[in-house]
């Protein structure tokens, strides 16, 4: 696994539209249909990355906490399933069910959505406000597999609270760290 940092897309960037299949419902999901009233978290994740498995439970917990506050979560996997069959849509659906995802888990087969967001790693997290402008990108918190720091979601939680409280997020935003997205050759 190659440890890769997120690209840190400029704040204020508008969310890019997409139309991707949800691997659980087999329905097509657009950004417009899945966005939250107050904000939207777009997460590039996958099934097999140890960095993602390390934070999965916290992502589900945050999604459950913030859904009632008007923040929706959307997960997208963009990995090359030819070379990484464990990330194929049927396995994504089972993974989403096993992990208790309450958010859509979308498959970006062409990898165009990952490229549009300049996603680099899993997990790569992007927070957009009600106007779909980027207010946060980066890590969930300081925890990483093996560093013995508890997973709290503190960085993402703070970013979401800023949106809800209509406050500017003045904290330093640290890049996410994880496995590189498995790009097609």
Residues 10-39: pLDDT tens digits?
Answer: 999 999 999 999 999 999 999 999 999 999
Mean pLDDT of the region 132-139: 96
Residues 89-120: pLDDT tens digits?
Answer: 999 999 999 999 999 999 999 999 999 999 99
For residue 2, is pLDDT > 70? no
- The pTM of this model reads 0.96
Give the C-alpha separation, 83 to 81, whole Å. 5
For residue 126, is pLDDT > 70? yes
Give the C-alpha separation, 134 to 28, whole Å. 24
* Pair 157, 127: CB distance under 8 Å: no
* Pair 1, 49: CB distance under 8 Å: yes
The tokens for 11 are 């704040």
Cα separation values, 25 from 15, 22, 46, 91, Å: 23, 6, 17, 13
What is the pLDDT at residue 107? 98
Give the C-alpha separation, 73 to 41, whole Å. 5
Which among 9, 21, 25, 2 is positioned nearest to 117, based on CA atoms? 9
The DSSP string of 58-124 is HHHHHHHHHHTTTEEEEEEE---TTT-GGGSHHHHHHHHHHHT--S-EEE-TTSHHHHHTT--EESE
């Amino acid at each position: 696994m190659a440890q890769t940092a997120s690209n840190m897309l400029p704040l204020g960037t508008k969310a890019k539209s997409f139309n991707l299949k949800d691997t659980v419902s087999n329905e097509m999901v657009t950004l417009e249909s899945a966005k939250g009233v107050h904000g939207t978290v777009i997460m590039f994740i996958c099934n097999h990355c140890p960095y993602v498995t390390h934070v999965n439970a916290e992502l589900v917990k945050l999604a459950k906490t913030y859904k009632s506050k008007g923040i929706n979560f959307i997960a997208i996997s963009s990995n090359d399933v030819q070379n990484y069959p464990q990330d194929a849509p049927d396995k994504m659906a089972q993974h989403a069910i096993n992990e208790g995802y309450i958010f859509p888990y979308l498959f970006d087969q062409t990898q165009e959505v990952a490229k549009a967001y300049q996603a680099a790693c899993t997990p790569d997290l992007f927070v957009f406000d009600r106007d779909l402008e980027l207010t946060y990108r980066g890590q969930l918190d300081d925890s990483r597999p093996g560093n013995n720091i508890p997973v709290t979601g503190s960085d993402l939680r703070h970013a979401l609270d800023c949106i809800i409280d209509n406050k500017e997020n003045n904290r330093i935003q640290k890049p996410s760290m994880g496995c590189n997205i498995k790009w097609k050759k």
